[in-house]
Structures are given as structure tokens and as C-alpha cells.
Amino acid sequence: MASWLRSKAQRFEGFLDGRTKSPTNETATAPAVKAASETNRPTPQNSTLLQAFEWHTPGGHWSRLANTVSTLSDVGITAFWLPPGCKANDPHGNGYDCYDLWDLGEFDQKWTRATKWGSREELDELIAKAKSSDVLIIWDTVLNHKTAGDAKEECWAVEVDRQDRTVEQTAPRKIEPWIHFNFPGRGDHYSSLKWHWQHFSGTDWDQRSQKNAIYKIVDPPESLPRPGAAVDPNWRKKDWATDVDDSNGNNDYLMFSNIDYSNAEVREDVQKWGEWMVSEVGVDGFRLDAVPHISWMFTRGWIRIAKEAAKRQNRELFIMGEFYNSNVNKILQWMDRMDSGVYAYDIPLLSNFAKVSMAKNKLDVDLRKVFKNTLIQHRPSNAVTLVTSHDTQPGQAVDTPIAPYFKTLAYAIMLLRREGLPCVFWGDLYGTKGPHTSSAACEGKLPALVLGRKLFAYGEQTDYLQSRTSIGWVRHGTWDRADGCVVIMSIGGAAKNSMFVGPTKAGQVWTDILGNCGDAITIDDRGYGIFRCADKSVAVYVRKEAPGRADFGACHPAKFTMQ
């Protein structure tokens, strides 16, 4: 009975695929290819971002990255997203456990001078090498919290419900968190601000009671306005920020000691740090961590000031926010509160990748709808697309499984289409360490996809929505990057489709740069070719004699082995 049901289901799937194929060549209108620009301005190289670390990357990474700049630039990487290289709460911290923003591995604090990633001198060398190869430096920026204060400090607080931070579960009482930061190794260098309880709105540990909880820091009773007395117009009740995401009742608090951006000293210090990172350290942009949890008004102002610092040096500043939510409207709401140039991660697209790749039955998915309700659909020019990150890799808090075969397809979608700014993951390029060690993804062919984007993914785009399980598209090239490419993929059986590349390419022979399909496709007199891919696979066809085809020798997996 079970085999009979499977047979019926397979026949029904085939019926659905047949009903949803694109029009045949006889009825389709050949898509127009844009003529050369009258000004013949050079087509700029496609941008490709690399998350240049994974959660378990070994220490000394600044020097390791400096040695890879040339190779990665040659293959098509144009920007490095670096980890938060500020001083963490211990020598092995990744930087998300931020202790001192101003210490980039320069001062002897927290039992080390260098950070896990390296010393300030090694960071400067990396930035210099990147700039010499026109590779931008994007700094991962943790502005939500600080951790591992230098001393305990008494303050008043209430415990709040973990599921609803607007619900106070205790009366105000004195607690004793590690919340005084005096930075003994750095002193007053760069910044003289010493942090006290007034600079925070919450914390998670009371040394006095030895208890972990979410504590909202409140005003001491003696500082509260007395009934009937005149109230200072500048007085503000200490509370969570209200201009944050509304999950958990109020999503201001995330972890550790939560920074209070209603405090003027805090705002001034963190804004000056952003200017310093641009003007003195030389970063080209910021990846803002955990933006749902930080005052949106402060974030908008911080971005404006940082961009002004870059403008004074005749530079543009790149800003992307990490708003981890599969609801695209939540992300759009945050983007609308920022300026028009801000980018955000397309988490809804990542969620769609996961659903498609892990579906047990292809009746449950439709590859043609992978962009539905995504940032690519709503803000294609400001969407950062990704397949994996340090947050979503196996074992992490938001582990998002992607079937191994599908990673190659997902990267092809990210890298070879017009929409979005693709972000390649270090662990997919070089493999990952730690308890879930893995080799490079895409059977080692990810560098070839990145290089394919650099060389061939240009010009107008024509989609071929062949079926629920197979799609394709053509990039028609530009006047000075004329070759273009053809992509066809399947999450089911082997697929083929007749696709138009243009009559000017008649007689050309096109082959798959990934080597997944051995067919040589000859373009007919009308400009069509019949392109194929194997089951659960993708093929990327380019003219066999196209300039740059010889460069694919540089994509050998042996060149992408982490030392």
C-alpha cells in the first residue's frame, strides 16, 4: 500500500510540474537585451561580502586574514565583515561579550593585551592590506551591552518576567552587580568615561544574592519626585527604552549589562567611538549587532554621525543591521526608522531556503516562491543575502539547517542574480572548527560561484520558472561585460529548458563552470540553447571561450584551506 501511495504521489508531482512550466519557445517572446550605454561607462565589478570568520575560528585571525586578502580579492570578494575585535571578557572571547569598545588589542586588560583575533598592530596591518586590494572593512559592532565589569556596585533594581519584561515580579531592592567599568589597563586613553550603574538599564547577575535573573535597574527611592513637589523638567524615570522591538513585551534587554542610551554621557562616548573607528582606525562600514534591542532613535543618530565622519574623508559608509526575524515586516519597520541607505539581513529568505531544502516531500514546496515575503522582494537594493552565519551554523542559538546539496543552489541564487548583496560565510568557504567540524560547503565549488559572479553575472535578467522543482535564469551581460551566464537548477529530478541568450551569440559553445553537467551547449541561430542540470543540482553555463574562464584554476579547493 505504501509503495502504491508513493507511486501515485510521484505521478501527481509530475503532473503539477507539467502544468507549471514556462511557455514554450514557439509562444515565448524573446527578451530584449539592453543596448550599450551611450556614454559607455564601465560596468563596475559586482560587490560580494565575506563574513570573514565563524564561531569557532582559532585565534590570531587578523594575521591569517591578512595572508588571504590577495586570494580572496582575486576570486571576487570585495568586503570583509570582521568579528567584533574589541576587548572581550576573557582572552578567548569572540567580542560579542564586549568589555571595552576602545581597546582593539592595545591595552593589557582582562588578562591579555591582544584580543582573541589579534593585536591592534596586526589589525592595522590587515586593514592596510585590504585597502591596497580595494577590499572594504566592515566592523561588527556590539552596542547593546557590556560585560565583566571591574568592580561590583550597589544599585536598585526589580526582577522582571523573562517572557514579558514589562512585568515586574519583585519590589525594588538593592542588588550588587559587576557593573562598574574603570578600564585599569587603558585608563583615560581615547576616552575618560568610567561606567557606573547609571549608564545601564538592566543586568543579569546579583553578586549579593548569587542569583541570575533579568534585573531592571530603577531609580533609588530617595531620588524619586515627592508627591506635590515640583518636578525637574529634565528628570526621566529610569526604565527600558521604548523605541525598540516589542517582542517579550519590550525587547530592550538582551544579555549581560544593558546599555542605557537615555544617558547623555553614554550617547556621547559611543558616538565618539563610531567617529574614531571611521576616522582613525579606518573601517569602511559597520555591521550593527542586535538592532531590535537598541534604541532606534539613538541608532539613527549614531549612523548619521558616523556617516558624517566618513563624508569628511570623502568616503561612503556602509551600514547593515542584524534584525534576526523571519517576519519581513519587522525588519522593514526598523529599516524605515533608519536612513534610506541602511542594509539588513534577509532572514526571511534564509528561512525559505531552509524550508525548501529540508522539505521531505516536494509537494510541500515551490522553488519559484523562494523570494515570497523576503527583503529581496520588498527592498532588493538593501537586502544582504546569506546561507549561513556564525549565528545559524550548527550548534548555535539560531541553528538553521540547510541540506548540503541545496547550499550550492542557494549560493547560486544569491551570487548570480541581480537582486541583493550576497554575504559568503567563512565556514562554507574554508570549513568550520569546534564540536560540529565540517569541510567546505558546495563540494568545494563555492569559490567558482564567487568568481562566476565577479566575471559573468551582469546585465538584464530573464527568469525561467520551469516548475515547482526547477527554475533558471539568464544574465544577458552588458556592453563591456558581454558574455553573461545561464543558470538552471533542480531540487527534484534532472531538468532541462530552452533558454534565450540572444542571436548575437549564435554558434557559441557554452559549458558549465561548476563541472556538474558535462554537456557542451551550442546556441542555435535564434539565440536559444537547451540547458540541462542533474537531479538536486545546479549548472552555470558560460561561453567556453569567455575571457576569465582560465581563472577558474585559482578556485581549486586546495587554495581555500584554513591554516
Cα dihedral angle (290, 296, 297, 303), rounded to 10 degrees? Answer: 50
- Residues sharing a CB contact under 8 Å with residue 468, sequence separation 6 or more, in sequence order: 13, 16, 17, 20, 362, 365, 366, 367, 368
**pLDDT score recorded for residue 555:** 72
Tell me: the pLDDT tens digits for 123-163? 999 999 999 999 999 999 999 999 999 999 999 999 999 99
CA distances from 408 to 388, 396, 411, 507, 521 (A): 12, 22, 5, 29, 22
What gap in Å lies between CA 357 and CA 491, rounded to an integer? 8
> Does residue 27 register a pLDDT over 70?
no
Among 110-114, 324-328, 396-400, where is mean pLDDT lowest?
Answer: 396-400
**pLDDT score recorded for residue 557:** 67
CA distances from 500 to 183, 356, 494, 516 (A): 64, 27, 20, 21
**pLDDT score recorded for residue 507:** 97
From 77, 78, 96, select the one nearest 86 (Cα to Cα). 96
**pLDDT score recorded for residue 22:** 44
**pLDDT score recorded for residue 26:** 41
- pLDDT bracket for residue 563 (50, 70, 90): low
> Does residue 6 register a pLDDT over 50?
no
Classify strands 485-490 and 470-475 as parallel, antiparallel or unpaired: antiparallel
**pLDDT score recorded for residue 558:** 67
Mean pLDDT of 176-197: 98
**pLDDT score recorded for residue 560:** 73
What gap in Å lies between CA 490 and CA 367, rounded to an integer? 9
Report the chain's mean pLDDT, rounded to a whole number: 91
- SS3 for 504-542 is HHCCCEEEECCCCCCCCEECCCCCEEEEEECCCEEEEEE
pTM of the full predicted structure? 0.92
Known catalytic residues are 289, 322
CATH architecture, domain defined by 15-33+459-560? Sandwich (2.60)
Tell me: the pLDDT tens digits for 276-332? 999 999 999 999 999 999 999 999 999 999 999 999 999 999 999 999 999 999 999
> Does residue 463 register a pLDDT over 90?
yes
- pLDDT bracket for residue 236 (50, 70, 90): confident
Percent of the chain with pLDDT over 70: 91
DSSP letters spanning 247-295: TTS-----SSEEE-TTSHHHHHHHHHHHHHIIIII---EEEETTGGGS-
The answer to whether 273 touches 286, Cβ cutoff 8 Å, is no
The sign of the dihedral angle between the CA atoms of 439, 442, 448, 450 is: negative
> Does residue 356 register a pLDDT over 70?
yes
- pLDDT bracket for residue 360 (50, 70, 90): confident
- pLDDT bracket for residue 28 (50, 70, 90): very low
Tell me: the pLDDT tens digits for 516-545? 999 999 999 999 999 999 999 999 999 999
From 337, 330, 324, select the one nearest 298 (Cα to Cα). 337
* Domain 49-140+264-358+387-456, CATH number (from 3.40.50.300, 3.90.920.20, 3.40.50.2300, 3.20.20.80): 3.20.20.80
- pLDDT bracket for residue 60 (50, 70, 90): very high
Residues in the chain: 563
> Does residue 29 register a pLDDT over 70?
no
The residues facing 287 across adjacent strands are 140, 320
Among 77-81, 357-361, 379-383, 520-524, where is mean pLDDT lowest?
Answer: 357-361
In the chain, % helix, strand, coil (3-state, to 5) comes to 30, 20, 45
Tell me: the pLDDT tens digits for 472-499? 999 999 999 999 999 999 999 999 999 9
**pLDDT score recorded for residue 36:** 47
Tell me: the pLDDT tens digits for 407-450? 999 999 999 999 999 999 999 999 999 999 999 999 999 999 99
> Does residue 16 register a pLDDT over 50?
no
The answer to whether 155 touches 207, Cβ cutoff 8 Å, is no
**pLDDT score recorded for residue 363:** 76
Sheet holding 537-543, edge to edge: 461-464, 470-475, 485-490, 537-543, 509-512, 521-522
Mean pLDDT of 65-85: 97
Cα distance between the two ends of the chain: 54
What gap in Å lies between CA 261 and CA 253, rounded to an integer? 12
From 85, 79, 14, 3, select the one nearest 47 (Cα to Cα). 79
Cα Rg, the chain, nearest whole Å: 26
Please identify which residue in the block is written with the cell numbers 523571519: 326
- pLDDT bracket for residue 122 (50, 70, 90): very high
DSSP conformation class of 544? T
Domain boundaries, the chain: 15-33+459-560, 49-140+264-358+387-456, 143-260
> Does residue 244 register a pLDDT over 60?
yes
What gap in Å lies between CA 389 and CA 84, rounded to an integer? 14
CATH class of 143-260: mainly beta
Among 168-172, 527-531, 552-556, where is mean pLDDT lowest?
Answer: 552-556
CA distances from 247 to 170, 174, 212, 221, 523 (A): 21, 28, 21, 29, 54
Residue 194 Cα to chain centre, angstroms? 33
Neighbour-count burial of 31, counting CB atoms closer than 10 A to its CB (0-12 exposed, 13-18 middle, 19+ buried) = middle
> Does residue 340 register a pLDDT over 90?
no
The amino acid that residue 524 corresponds to is D
Element (H, E) at 320: strand 318-321
Supply the angle between the helices 404-416 and 446-456 in degrees, to the nearest 10: 20
Whether 49-140+264-358+387-456 shares its CATH topology with 143-260 is answered: no
Phi, psi of 426 (to 5 degrees): -50, -45
- pLDDT bracket for residue 39 (50, 70, 90): low
Structure-model confidence comparison of residues 114 and 340, the more confident one:
114
